[in-house]
Amino acid sequence: MSLTGIGEIANLASNIANKFFPDKSQEEKDALALQIQQMTLASQERQGQAEVNKAEASNTSIFVAGWRPFVGWVCGSAFAWTFILAPMVSYATAIAGHPVALPALDLSQLSPVLMGMLGLSISRTVEKVNGIKAGH
């Protein structure tokens, strides 16, 4: 503390002025630091998932390494049935004079699983819009 108190008054005035008129360069630095932190966390998350993927892929157990192919085949089969096979079978049986009522699959719960497996999520779209390359 100085004898005149001018230094403390100047600091107080500076702090008040910064609250009403913040330094734009400091705001930009803070925003950039936040963006770097978010990118670092996202990169660490992807790296961790890559390690999990490697461990799963190297495992010989069907219960560890086989769930993704199983889910992929189930999703693919459901989509093939719904959009290719069922319409063709319905059309063929109708032409033959023996129309059949085939079961319709509810794909509303299956679609998000398949889209997630294929990587077709909104996060990847956002990355593309922002110019972020996959895996970086």
**Residues 75, 17 within the same domain:** no
**Residues 53, 79 within the same domain:** no
**Residues 15, 73 within the same domain:** no
Handedness of CA 99, 101, 103, 107 (dihedral sign): positive
Give residue 42's domain range.
1-61
Whole-prediction pTM: 0.43
φ, ψ of residue 73 to 5 degrees: the values are -65, -40
Q: How many residues does the chain have?
A: 136
Nearest to 136 by CA among 44, 37, 43, 48: 43
pLDDT in tens, 108-126: 888 888 887 777 656 666 7
- The rounded distance, in Å, linking the Cα atoms of 23 and 16 is 12
pLDDT in tens, 80-96: 999 999 999 999 999 99
- The rounded distance, in Å, linking the Cα atoms of 75 and 5 is 74
